[in-house]
Amino acid sequence: MTHIFINYVMVQLFYYENRGQSARKLLRHEGCKNKVHLFPYEGWARPASLCYWVLKTSWWSRTRCKIVQVCGVKRNTTIGRMTTAANGNVTVMGKFKGGQEQDPDFRLTLNTNVSSSDFQIGYSMTGMLERGCRKEGRMEMTHYAMIKRKGY
């Protein structure tokens, strides 16, 4: 029992020490699948469905990742491009194909600089999701994005 508690404390200490550090390092630590919880932004004028995304990073590419959007029983898959900023933020950009999406282009920005209250809830990364059309130059914030750490 004490071995499990000590292991749990060490894992939580890893996340606490890496707050504000590289988000790519935390994505790699979490494993190949990261569930991104999406919460609708209040200022968005359209109705938002309850969805979540699954980010799957691969060991062979630092810039490509697979994104699976899950809305109920409906799944939509695409390949996104991951870039890292100097401050440790990770941006995932891509486009959902198929024509059923009103705003097919997306930009997901995640960072590890979470607030103390978000850290207490169990989040290791927070950010925002922007949807729109890049050809028209129209991208607007639609959701808050959060990734929970292991053990929550």
User: What's the pLDDT tens digit per position in 36-47?
Assistant: 999 888 866 566
Query: What DSSP character marks residue 18?
Result: T
Long-range contacts of 97-103 (CB under 8 A, 24+ apart): 101/76, 103/131, 103/132, 103/133, 103/142
The domain in which residue 76 lies consists of 2-148
Beta strand extents in 1-152 (DSSP E only): 33-40, 52-57, 64-71, 74-84, 90-95, 105-111, 123-133, 138-148
Tokens 């996340």: give the residue: 15
User: What's the pLDDT tens digit per position in 71-96?
Assistant: 888 888 999 998 888 777 889 999 98
Q: Which residues of the chain have pLDDT under 50?
A: 1-11
pLDDT in the model for residue 19: 61
- Residue 116 neighbours by CB under 8 Å, 6+ apart: none
- Residue 28 neighbours by CB under 8 Å, 6+ apart: 57
Total of domains in the chain: 1
CATH of the domain at 35: 2.40.160
User: In 1-44, which residue ranges form alpha helices assigned H by DSSP?
Assistant: 2-17, 23-30
pLDDT in the model for residue 23: 64
Taking the C-alpha atoms of residue 65 and residue 3, their distance in angstroms, rounded to an integer, is: 35
